Structure 1
Amino acid sequence: MKDVYGRSIDYLRISLTDRCNFRCRYCMPEEGVDMLSHRDILTFEEILAIVSVAVKRGISKVRLTGGEPLVRKGVAGLIRDLKSIDGINSISMTTNGFLLGEMAEELKERGLDRVNISLDTVNREKFLNITRRDGLDKVISGIDAAVKAGLNPVKLNSVIMRGTNDDEILNLVRFAQEKKVILRFIEQMPFGSYSREDFVSAEEIKGIITGEYGSPVKPDGDESALFAGFGPSEHSRFGEDGPVIGFITPVSNHFCGRCNRLRLTADGKLKPCLLSNEEIDLKSALRSGLSERDLESILTYAVDRKPKGHFLDSDIFESTRGMSKIGG
């Protein structure tokens, strides 16, 4: 599928649940959120039906998100069934890693190709402060299990916040090097307890890493292919033999011009853009008994509704949903 700006849309991010076993400050309030009822969320059968139709319109890559996708029972079976859909060539997952240690091997066996794990600090006190849960050891075990299971490349996603974990940047780099995983810094977006004063740009993070390892250069050849994925991350090697780090810059240098995705929320809303409040109610359409052709038309409509860009660098955008309600 191509949108009206010529972008090829081949990537569907699916939120399996709005529930999470963490309460990360930039994602969810300490008391949590009003959870969707079982009836309100898409069944696995409905998700499979949507993906089967989406494949016919050009979707070939799927990422499972949440909330925390691993808290939903039966996720390994869903991965197996998604893998059996002709035309799906990649299934990945974004997780907080807390349950990954006991599930990584089965997920790999069922067809999961790769995994991104959220990790904003390797300091126990800071981890507790950010996530409001004492789970650092289990997350590290999850990272080790993902590497062992071959869910490669294993990627760590880190959000840096001023006064919270901006002194952890080099610690995270060293940790990723030790574990032989890919580290990506993601600029904080205006969800949860966002404050402009907390924002740390990718350029500032690069400056800190440069001071330790040397100036950044773009990896090339086979190395560049190794670090590339299906997402918006731009990678740089710091120094001649230093670490390769990814940067995702939705605020300071948006990548809307190469966006290739749609998002499906746990309650069945199709979002043409993460940073837009426009949603298309796919669940109601599906449950009303519409034909596959009608569902294809809805997908096409959603693609046509993708905006050219977002408004994060202004005061226009204010999300009507928290990140846990959308899917990270």
Structure 2
Amino acid sequence: MLQDRFGRTIEYLRLSVTDRCDLRCTYCIPTGFKGFEEPADWLSFDEIERLLGAFARLGTRRVRLTGGEPLLRRHVSDLAARISAIDGIDDLSMSTNATQLRRHAGALRAAGVSRINVSLDTLDRACMQAITGRDSHTQIMDGIMAGKEAGFEPIKINMVAMRGVNEGEIDRMAEFCIEHGFVLRLIEVMPMGATGRNTSYLDLQPIRARLQERYDLVPQAVELGGGPARYLATRDGRTSIGFITPMSQHFCATCNRVRLAVDGTLYLCLGQEQKFEFRPLLRGGASDAELEAAIRAAIELKPQKHEFTERPEKIIRFMAQTGG
């Protein structure tokens, strides 16, 4: 098992397969940004499979495919099948904006992706266009329903809660998720890059108390994916609502994950600069033993906690560069 200096077991890898996205959400990618990684610097599928095999031998059992938008990477379902076949990895999921999901849902499910998280900050078409930079409402809703038809379980709806933008839609989103059996996850915005710092923060603690009373929610007993959300459930079990609160109630003490960017850079924390470059090792002939030793060395760099509250200006890179 991989353990960091603070005794935390690291068994969850979030793998970015591209830093490109077909949306421009206001809190994520700066308007007009052109500095994406060149495809020649992306890890190949062979390199990804080899590196994830090393992680799996050291105890990693959960992998989430992320981006940017992962469905923009060609043949990503083939990669999913290769990852799901790695011995030791027993939980393969994906985060997506769902614009491309209708075309890919069946292939992803057949490849071994069991769960999806969909970024959906609003159900209102005009608000969605204002947040994402394009009229994507029909594509996204069609994609979500295609995911439901394909049998992904559960489907989690990730809603970044923003003061003055979509805070008035939280109850409507909860009703939508209850109707369809989706899991709603409300997320506090983080000050990652100028995009994150320019987004109006909304404290989720009062929202949690209000929703708990309105829907008679009780603590969720069943684990839902090993991530940072704290869940409440409806008494009839129809759905759950999770709260991801890196600002108002951080979860650093139980952090179990690291993020591998598309270029092979392993980021140890969203709110710190520690990182480790794996591409030179993979392309320089490193042995499996050397890769495993490098992974252990990288995990030793993982910091104890982020500094989003104390130093919100610290992180210059934005979310799509790190991997969602």
- Give the TM-score of the pair, scaled to structure 2: 0.94
Match of 1:277 among 260, 273, 280: 273
Residue 48 to residue 142, structure 1, CA distance change in 2 (3 Å): same
Superimposed CA distance per residue, residues 116-151 of structure 1 (whole angstroms, 9 cap, x where no aligned partner): 000000000000000011111211111111111111
2:189–2:199 CA contact under 8 A, matched in 1: no
- Judged with a 3 Å threshold, the aligned counterparts in structure 2 of structure 1 residues 77 and 255 are, in CA distance, closer, same or farther, namely same
Pick aligned residue for 1:199 from 198, 201, 208: 201
Classify the secondary structure of the residue corresponding to 2:53: helix
Q: Can you list the C-alpha shifts for 1:146-177, whole angstroms capped at 9, x where unaligned?
A: 11111111100000111111111111111111
Counterpart for residue 317 of structure 2? 321
Task: Check whether the contact 2:190–2:197 (CA below 8 A) recurs between aligned residues.
Answer: no
Q: Does 1:59 align with 2:55?
A: no
Output the CA distance in 1 between the equivalents of 2:305 and 2:205. 21
1:179-190 alignment to 2 at 5 Å?
179-190=180-191
Structure 2 residue corresponding to 1:267, chosen from 263, 267, 271: 263
Query: Is this contact kept in 1: 2:274–2:302, CA < 8 A?
Result: no
Show the counterpart of 1:253.
249
* Percent of aligned positions that are identical: 38
Q: How does 1:147-296 map to 2 (within 5 A)?
A: 147-191=148-192, 192-195=194-197, 198-210=200-212, 212-214=214-216, 216-219=217-220, 224-225=221-222, 228-237=224-233, 244-296=240-292
Find the counterpart in structure 1 of residue 81 from structure 2. 80
Q: How does 1:133-144 map to 2 (within 5 A)?
A: 133-144=134-145
- Tell me if the contact between 2:115 and 2:152 (Cα under 8 Å) persists in the aligned partners: yes
Q: Which one of the candidate residues 294, 301, 306 is aligned to 1:298?
A: 294
Task: Write the distance in 1 (CA, Å) between the matches of 2:212 and 2:115.
Answer: 29
Q: Deviations over 1:245-303 (max 9, x none)?
A: 10011111111111111110011101111221111111112111111111111100111
**What secondary structure, in the 3-state scheme, does the structure 2 residue paired with 1:257 have?**
helix
Q: Matched residues in 2 for 1:196 and 1:79: separation?
A: 35
1:31 corresponds to: 32
Aligned CA distance change for structure 1 residues 238 and 76 (closer, same or farther; 3 Å): closer
User: What is the identity, as a one-letter code, of the residue corresponding to 2:142?
Assistant: S
**Superposition TM-score, scaled by structure 1 size:** 0.93
Whether the 8 Å CA contact 2:182–2:239 is kept in 1: the answer is: no
Tell whether the 8 Å contact from 2:17 to 2:73 is kept in structure 1 after alignment. yes
Residue 77 of structure 1 and its aligned partner are, at CA, apart by: 0.4
Q: Given residue 75 of structure 2, which amino acid in structure 1 is its aligned partner?
A: G
Shift in CA distance, 71/203, structure 1 to aligned 2, threshold 3 Å: same
Of 313-322 and 31-40, the range deviating more from structure 2: 313-322
State the distance in 2 between where 1:241 and 1:257 align.
29
In the alignment, is the contact (CA less than 8 A) between 2:197 and 2:312 conserved in 1? no
Aligned twin of 1:310 = 306
Task: Name 1:122's counterpart in structure 2.
Answer: 123
1:244 is displaced (CA, Å) by 2.8
CA RMSD of superposed structures (Å): 1.8
* C-alpha contact 1:275 1:317 (8 A) present in aligned 2: no
**Number of aligned residues:** 322
How far does residue 211 in structure 1 lie from its aligned partner after superposition? Answer: 5.9
- Give unpaired runs (5+ residues) of structure 1: none
* Other structure's SS at 2:126 match: helix
SS at match of 2:157: strand
In 2: Cα distance, 1:239 partner to 1:188 partner: 29
Deviation at 1:212, TM superposition (A): 3.6
Q: Tell me which residue corresponds to 1:48.
A: 49
1:125 and 1:239 mapped to 2: Cα distance? Answer: 34
What SS does the corresponding residue of 2:19 show, helix, strand or coil?
A: coil
| Equivalent residue number for residue 70 of structure 2 | 69
